[in-house]
């Protein structure tokens, strides 16, 4: 059980209704929040939550790593990733040589929204049945047309002009990807990064466990031990991460805020960035800011974070439990109302395709109360910021009774290519299972990109970010 302390009363919950219209298996196995690895079964304790990085090292870990006894990717000598110490080094390596060059971090000096399932009237999985596509070949036929962006590939010669065949992430699947000079030229969820003498689009792996830059597409914050990416504002980062300058010389990168710090501040970029505001039920990591644009960004329609030198959470958020935390945790706010403690105030039972009610909570308790075993925290997202590693921003939610679609971070580490059979989104490479057709798809709303053999097609009348929702089929 995670400890919490009651805070002073505050205004009633904002009346924001968020609907989720697809479901998938829970993405983060583990017990309720923890303090030690021994509190977890076949998992390790990170940021107060039991987590698993891997089951099979060859599929789940960076090249050369093993899957250790606590399901954590680790060096082959039997070591483990370093325990976060509250400080951070940005190990971004040398873009010309690939060598590691740690940059020391300067310390930061600044000190339940109710949900229900959608009726499905406009849900993507309610589109006309029969819109299936055949399962694509594992690799393009080099005797025919060359691969286009996102196609699986075996070498540069199998991709069309202007594209390289490169892994999406360290040790990941190789796909045809554009040569680029700016992230705007990349598929949704990718970033334009310099690798050696080349500059091309790679998957954003923000949040992936790391020990050095060689584990990441860009760089590793080696104190809290996760991969990061450069940013110019919080809009360039996944929800739950803001944009802060770290290191000497400083580099603006995505910094994680969705970490509890009531009893342990080691998960924060600096101990001074633990927010103990009375408006929170559980103290939460945050980051320094100049304006609110530096702070984590939620999907349109949600209350926004604010800045007073530190990034402050909106009034409907009571805790920092990250995307995928399972089971979601609950406690009472200062008014005696039971609230969830998820970073984005959103949760779902991915197994039952439903939003569970809160468990019975004693407001006099000093620990949080777990929801049902399959109740998981889920973050909303924007196409620009995308999602943390292992998830894809897919517009399968709606806000305030269905007036607009919102992106949700759905598991995206399955092997199913577009057109492959699926029962849930965690089986699909792009985090989207069209449950009507029973085939994997991809949200192509913002980039119009689909793999060879599928087409980006408008589906449903409710827009997302002002654009008509589209998917690959």
pTM of the model: 0.74
Q: How far apart are CA 171 and CA 314, in angstroms?
A: 37
What's the token pair of residue 316? 């409907």
236: left (phi over 0), alpha (psi -120 to 50) or beta: alpha
Chain centre to alpha carbon of residue 462: 24
Indicate the burial class of 336 (C-beta count within 10 angstroms; 0-12, 13-18, 19 or more).
Answer: exposed
Cis peptide before 327 (omega within 30 of 0): yes
- Over 60: is that where the pLDDT of 466 sits? yes
Q: Which one of 94-98, 177-181, 218-222 scores highest in mean pLDDT?
A: 177-181
Contact between 347 and 378 under an 8 Å Cβ cutoff? The reply is yes
Give tens-digit pLDDT for 258-287: 999 988 888 898 778 999 999 899 999 999
pLDDT higher at 49 or 1: 49
Task: Check residue 3 and give its pLDDT.
Answer: 46
Residue of 424, 431, 418 whose CA lies nearest to 457: 418
Question: What DSSP line would sit under 235-302, residue for residue?
Answer: GGS-TTEEEEEETTTTEEEEEE---B-SS--TTSSSGGGEE--TT-SS-EE--B-SSGGGS--PPTTS
Q: How far apart are CA 397 and CA 405, in angstroms?
A: 6
Give tens-digit pLDDT for 18-54: 333 332 323 333 334 555 555 666 676 565 566 677 6
What's the token pair of residue 438? 């029973």
Task: Check residue 56 and give its pLDDT.
Answer: 64
Give tens-digit pLDDT for 324-366: 999 999 999 989 999 999 999 999 876 666 788 999 999 999 8
Q: How far apart are CA 182 and CA 345, in angstroms?
A: 33
Residue 367: strand pairing partners:
3
CA 46, 52, 54, 60 dihedral sign is negative
Q: How far apart are CA 321 and CA 165, in angstroms?
A: 36
């Amino acid at each position: 059980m995670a400890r919490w302390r009651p805070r002073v009363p505050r205004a009633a919950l904002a009346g924001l209704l968020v609907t989720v219209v697809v479901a998938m298996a829970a993405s983060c196995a583990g017990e309720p929040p923890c303090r030690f690895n021994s509190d977890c079964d076949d998992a390790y304790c990170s940021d107060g939550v039991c987590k698993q990085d891997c089951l099979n090292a060859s599929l789940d870990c960076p090249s050369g790593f093993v899957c250790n006894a606590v399901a954590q990717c680790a060096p082959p000598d039997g070591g483990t990733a370093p325990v976060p110490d509250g400080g951070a080094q940005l190990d971004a390596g040398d873009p010309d040589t690939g060598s590691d060059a740690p940059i020391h971090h300067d310390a930061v000096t600044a000190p339940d929204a109710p949900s229900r399932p959608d009726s499905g009237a406009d849900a993507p999985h309610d589109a006309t049945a029969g819109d299936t596509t055949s399962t694509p070949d594992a690799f393009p036929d080099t005797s025919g047309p060359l691969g286009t962006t996102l196609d699986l590939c075996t070498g540069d010669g199998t991709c069309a002009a202007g594209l390289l065949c490169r892994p999406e992430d360290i040790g990941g699947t190789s796909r045809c990807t554009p040569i680029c000079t700016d992230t705007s030229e990349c598929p949704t969820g990718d970033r334009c990064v310099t690798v050696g003498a080349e500059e091309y689009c790679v998957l954003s792996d923000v949040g992936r466990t790391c020990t050095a830059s060689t584990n990441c597409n860009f760089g590793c914050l080696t104190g809290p031990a996760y991969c990061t990416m450069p940013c110019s504002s919080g809009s360039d980062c996944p929800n739950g991460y803001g944009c802060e300058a770290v290191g000497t010389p400083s580099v603006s990168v995505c910094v994680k805020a969705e970490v509890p710090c009531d009893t342990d501040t080691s998960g924060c970029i600096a101990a001074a960035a633990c927010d103990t505001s009375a408006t929170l039920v559980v103290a939460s990591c945050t980051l320094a800011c100049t304006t609110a644009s530096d702070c984590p960004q939620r999907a349109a329609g949600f209350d926004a974070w604010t800045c007073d030198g530190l990034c402050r959470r909106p009034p409907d958020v009571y805790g920092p439990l990250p995307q995928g935390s399972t089971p979601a945790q609950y406690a009472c706010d200062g008014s005696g109302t039971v609230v969830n403690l998820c970073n984005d105030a959103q949760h779902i039972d991915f197994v039952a395709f439903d939003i569970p009610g809160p468990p019975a909570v004693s407001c006099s308790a000093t620990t949080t109360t777990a929801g049902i075993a399959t109740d998981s925290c889920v973050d909303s997202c924007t196409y620009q910021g995308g999602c943390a590693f292992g998830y894809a921003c897919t517009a399968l939610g709606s806000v305030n009774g269905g007036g607009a679609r919102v992106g949700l971070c759905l598991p995206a580490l399955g092997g199913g290519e577009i057109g492959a059979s699926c029962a849930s989104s965690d089986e699909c490479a792009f985090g989207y299972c069209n449950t009507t057709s029973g085939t994997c798809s991809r949200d192509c709303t913002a980039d119009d990109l689909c793999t060879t053999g599928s087409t980006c097609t408008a589906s449903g009348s409710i827009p997302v970010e002002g654009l008509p929702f589209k998917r690959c089929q």
